[in-house]
């Protein structure tokens, strides 16, 4: 049986003065979440271990080393890449700082943001900017601009405006692109074909409408123009209405839940619209909770039926944590908290704890088993960032429950 616990760290007494200095430094860097110091929360070490992994894998030009293996002897050329996932990693790095964990990786976040802006963001016309998906990198037939990529880019990059690391024209241009890609019903078409110079209205993407809405809400914070807010609300209402009849077969669109949480916290949406969105979130969560493995004697305790993929479970934790703030049901909140507790514990157990790839999250929880497939031990950067984000969001709930008056 492999030991998943973190190794103890022993520091010689000769360095006691250095320790005292670091303690003061950490105290200044570490902020409070709902009145609780983040370094006192249960997943503080695990979050930092995975953030160290991300930090170690930012190249000098700002590109991420997208894929590695638990076995450092196995190498990849990393020519396969994904602009949307690069933006997602930037978002997790920003959330790490926003949640009060310090600015250790801020320079690298700036560097990786600059790389993304220069390489993937292009002007489409006088008013619109896009995020380009490269055929060679993403192994697709033609160059396209995904609405999901533009949405996550806005979520990841809007915070840079205050620091003068991005222009308002680019941010608003991405917003204009998204609005131009929205149908009359409210959903967002999947992508713009850059070779045909037209919108592809046939392709379907489960998460793109919610990702677009999420990005528009971040843009609205920077540029409080009502069309961004209206576009986001229209998209989320479309999802809630169109998926209502799916019952337990509803897809767990975690980006929807993240966007609805943000919408509820930043606006005073009320009445039938709020009720519809709340019911939509509850429908997704109840469906997912029924799939979790809750038998403590099961080696996959905390994972989900037919799903032991850490990256995927990380996205579920993200959605559940956001959903905690999108329901008025105390009973459901308790169920969500219990689900997060065992789900995040499962992720802790499968995190790589030692060695060159410490902090990584492989493709499968079975990576520790000798008979597992080679793909099980592959570490993708999006696996890591989703788990980090799931832990970060769960920590907010833990802090709130510890200090409810905040």
pLDDT in tens, 48-98: 999 999 999 999 999 999 999 999 999 999 999 999 999 999 999 999 999
Q: What is the pLDDT of residue 405?
A: 66
On whether the CB atoms of residues 401 and 334 are closer than 8 A, the answer is: no
Q: What is the pLDDT of residue 14?
A: 28
The dihedral built from the CA positions of residue 113, 115, 120 and 122, taken in this order, carries a sign that is: positive
Q: What is the pLDDT of residue 373?
A: 87
Q: What is the pLDDT of residue 151?
A: 98
Q: Please check the confidence at residue 345 and state whether its pLDDT lies above 50.
A: yes
Q: Please check the confidence at residue 29 and state whether its pLDDT lies above 60.
A: no
pLDDT in tens, 106-123: 999 999 999 999 999 999
What is this structure's pTM?
0.91
DSSP structure class, residue 39:
G
Q: Please check the confidence at residue 16 and state whether its pLDDT lies above 60.
A: no
Q: Please check the confidence at residue 154 and state whether its pLDDT lies above 90.
A: yes
Q: Please check the confidence at residue 34 and state whether its pLDDT lies above 80.
A: no
Strands (E), 134-231: 144-146, 191-193, 198-200
Q: What is the pLDDT of residue 4?
A: 37
Q: Please check the confidence at residue 325 and state whether its pLDDT lies above 90.
A: yes
Q: Please check the confidence at residue 22 and state whether its pLDDT lies above 90.
A: no
Q: Long-range CB contacts (< 8 A, 24+ apart) of 170-174?
A: 170/117, 170/121, 170/129, 171/219, 171/222, 171/223, 172/219, 172/223, 172/225, 173/123, 173/124, 173/127, 173/128, 173/129, 174/121, 174/128, 174/129, 174/130, 174/131, 174/150, 174/215, 174/219
In order of start, what are the domains of the chain with their CATH numbers?
Answer: 13-18+30-402 (1.50.10.10)
Confidence class for position 406, pLDDT limits 50, 70, 90: low
pLDDT in tens, 169-199: 999 999 999 999 999 999 999 999 999 999 9
Q: What is the pLDDT of residue 248?
A: 87
């Amino acid at each position: 049986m492999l030991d998943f616990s973190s190794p103890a760290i022993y520091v010689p007494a000769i360095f006691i003065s250095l320790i005292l200095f670091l303690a003061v430094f950490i105290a200044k860097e570490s902020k409070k979440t709902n009145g609780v110091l983040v370094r006192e929360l249960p997943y503080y070490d695990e979050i930092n271990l995975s953030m160290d992994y991300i930090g170690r894998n930012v190249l000098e030009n700002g590109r991420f080393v997208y894929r590695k293996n638990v076995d450092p002897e196995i190498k990849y050329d990393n020519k396969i890449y994904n602009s949307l996932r690069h933006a997602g990693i930037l978002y997790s790095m920003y959330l790490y700082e926003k949640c009060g964990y310090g600015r250790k990786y801020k320079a690298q976040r700036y560097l990786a943001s600059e790389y993304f802006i220069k390489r993937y963001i292009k002007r489409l016309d006088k008013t619109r900017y896009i995020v380009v998906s490269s055929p060679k990198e993403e192994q697709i037939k033609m160059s396209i601009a995904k609405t999901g990529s533009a949405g996550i880019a806005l979520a990841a990059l809007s915070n840079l405006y205050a620091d003068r690391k991005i222009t308002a024209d680019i941010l608003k241009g991405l917003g204009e692109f998204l609005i131009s890609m929205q149908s009359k019903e409210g959903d967002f078409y999947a992508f713009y074909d850059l070779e045909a110079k037209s919108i592809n209205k046939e392709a379907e993407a489960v998460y793109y409408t919610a990702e677009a809405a999420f990005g528009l809400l971040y843009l609205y914070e920077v540029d409080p123009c009502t069309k961004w807010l209206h576009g986001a609300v229209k998209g989320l209402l479309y999802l809630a209405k169109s998926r209502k009849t799916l019952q337990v077969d509803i897809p767990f669109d975690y980006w929807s839940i993240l966007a609805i949480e943000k919408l509820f916290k930043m606006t005073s949406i009320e009445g039938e619209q709020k009720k519809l969105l709340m019911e939509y979130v509850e429908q997704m969560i109840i469906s997912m909770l029924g799939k979790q493995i809750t038998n403590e004697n099961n080696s996959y305790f905390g994972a989900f039926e037919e799903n032991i993929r850490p990256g995927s479970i990380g996205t579920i934790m993200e959605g559940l944590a956001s959903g905690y703030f999108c329901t008025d049901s105390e009973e459901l909140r308790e169920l969500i908290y219990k689900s997060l507790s065992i789900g995040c514990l499962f992720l802790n157990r499968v995190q790589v704890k030692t060695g060159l790839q410490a902090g990584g999250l492989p493709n499968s929880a079975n990576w520790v088993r000798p008979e597992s497939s080679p793909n099980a031990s592959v570490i993708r950067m999006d696996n890591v960032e989703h788990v980090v984000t799931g832990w970060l969001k769960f920590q907010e709930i833990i802090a709130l429950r510890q200090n409810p008056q905040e």
